[in-house]
């Protein structure tokens, strides 16, 4: 299988490295060429352009920012350059309608789209421990499954409809960020009321089975929000906005999302662009007069 990978950011770089380690014939492309260097040194090939990168690929994996970035990529000649029957595996968190639109565009072009958003943080991507949600034609999902195994510990095909995978991803993200907000509010209250924060941390650690939530409970308590291995606030706000839009379309208001969005916007206005999205706790503390 010849694989092309486009988008080597915090998530994509780790995923591409896992694909290369698994022995796939890999060609990579990124607008910032320096992001390609570690993979080229490890044995990957480098594409000179998007079209050059995807031309011979059986599967093209994209890890970008949002709907616009993926649609813009297709408009740069990617669709025309892909060979007939080749598969585009989209791992970006995009809107559910965006996933269905990508599937339509590929069908018209004689290629195939598989929605494959991933659950996990950059450190999990680098370790090959992500969760992949697949949706699309059964045969195409089966074809990309061995590739997904290189960067994911769990692969879950959930629907023929492409949008369902992205809806599921938004549901999970909303659950996680809502619990982040809840923990932040409670930790701020414990500081104000004299309850030892270690007591609440013990409760959270016992209450949550998921390692990710245990990690956030510790991270929020320690106010450990810096570094490049987290989920950046800017990307977090994009996901919250996608969540709000999806649930407005479905007629199901997600009211906690409005609170989280206001705190993320305040965080970005105060220079938190690259801090982990759980840094909304610092906004909570500031509003509580704790800073």
In this prediction, what percent of the chain has a pLDDT beyond 70? 100
217-226 long-range contacts, CB within 8 A, separation 24+:
217/183, 219/276, 219/278, 220/180, 220/183, 220/184, 220/187, 220/278, 220/281, 221/187, 221/197, 223/281, 223/282, 224/276, 225/272, 225/275, 225/276, 225/278, 225/279, 225/281, 225/282, 226/275, 226/276
Mean pLDDT in residue range 250-271: 94
Residue 70: is its pLDDT beyond 80? yes
Q: What is the pLDDT of residue 253?
A: 83
Domain boundaries, the chain: 2-160, 167-287
Q: What tokens were used for 203?
A: 């409760």
Mean pLDDT in residue range 95-120: 97
SS3 132: strand
Same fold, 2-160 and 167-287: no
Residue 228: is its pLDDT beyond 80? no
Mean pLDDT in residue range 265-285: 95
Mean pLDDT in residue range 61-66: 96
Residue 76: is its pLDDT beyond 90? no
pLDDT in tens, 121-171: 999 999 999 999 999 999 999 999 999 999 999 999 999 999 999 999 999
Residue 195: is its pLDDT beyond 90? yes
62 φ/ψ sector (left φ>0, alpha ψ -120 to 50, else beta)? beta
Q: What is the pLDDT of residue 254?
A: 86
Q: What is the pLDDT of residue 217?
A: 96
Question: Phi and psi dihedrals of 82, rounded to 5?
Answer: -65, 140
CATH number for domain 167-287, candidates 1.10.40.50, 3.40.190.10, 3.40.50.300, 1.10.1040.10: 1.10.1040.10
Mean pLDDT in residue range 235-250: 92
Residue 95: is its pLDDT beyond 90? yes
Q: What is the pLDDT of residue 230?
A: 83
Q: Across all residues in the chain, what is the average pLDDT?
A: 95
Residue 276: is its pLDDT beyond 80? yes
Q: What is the pLDDT of residue 101?
A: 97
In this prediction, what percent of the chain has a pLDDT beyond 90? 94
Q: What tokens were used for 260?
A: 């989280």
CATH number for domain 2-160, candidates 3.40.50.720, 3.10.450.50, 3.90.76.10, 3.90.1150.10: 3.40.50.720
Residue 291: is its pLDDT beyond 90? no
If one counts every other C-beta atom within 10 angstroms of the C-beta of residue 140, the result is 19
Q: What is the pLDDT of residue 25?
A: 98
CA dist 49 and 128 (Å) reads 27
Q: Which residues on adjacent β-strands are paired with residue 255?
A: none
Q: What is the CA radius of gyration of the chain?
A: 20
pLDDT higher at 164 or 254 = 164
Residue 236: is its pLDDT beyond 90? yes
């Amino acid at each position: 299988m010849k694989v092309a990978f486009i988008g080597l950011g915090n998530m994509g770089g780790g995923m591409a490295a896992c694909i290369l380690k698994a022995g796939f014939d890999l060609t990579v492309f990124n607008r910032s060429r320096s992001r390609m260097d570690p993979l080229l040194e490890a044995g990957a090939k480098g594409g000179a352009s998007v079209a050059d990168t995807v031309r011979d690929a059986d599967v093209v994996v994209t890890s970008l920012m949002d709907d616009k970035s993926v649609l813009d990529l297709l408009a740069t000649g990617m669709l025309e350059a892909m060979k007939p029957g080749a598969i585009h595996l989209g791992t970006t968190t995009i809107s559910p309608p965006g996933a269905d639109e990508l599937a339509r565009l590929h069908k018209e072009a004689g290629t195939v789209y598989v929605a494959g958003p991933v659950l996990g943080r950059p450190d999990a991507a680098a370790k090959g421990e992500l969760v992949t949600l697949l949706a699309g034609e059964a045969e195409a999902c089966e074809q990309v499954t061995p590739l997904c195994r290189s960067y994911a510990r769990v692969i879950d095909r959930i629907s023929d409809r492409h949008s369902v995978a992205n809806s599921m991803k938004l549901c999970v993200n909303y659950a996680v960020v809502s619990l982040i907000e809840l923990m932040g509010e409670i930790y701020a209250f414990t500081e104000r009321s004299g309850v030892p924060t270690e007591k609440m941390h013990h409760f959270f650690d016992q209450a949550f089975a998921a390692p990710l939530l245990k990690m956030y409970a510790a991270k929020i308590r320690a106010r450990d929000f810096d570094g490049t291995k987290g989920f950046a606030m800017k990307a977090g706000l994009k996901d919250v906005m996608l969540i709000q839009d999806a649930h407005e379309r479905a007629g199901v208001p997600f009211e906690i999302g409005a609170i989280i969005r206001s705190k993320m916007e305040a965080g970005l206005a105060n220079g938190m662009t690259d801090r982990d999205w759980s840094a909304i706790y610092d906004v909570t503390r500031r509003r509580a007069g704790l800073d």
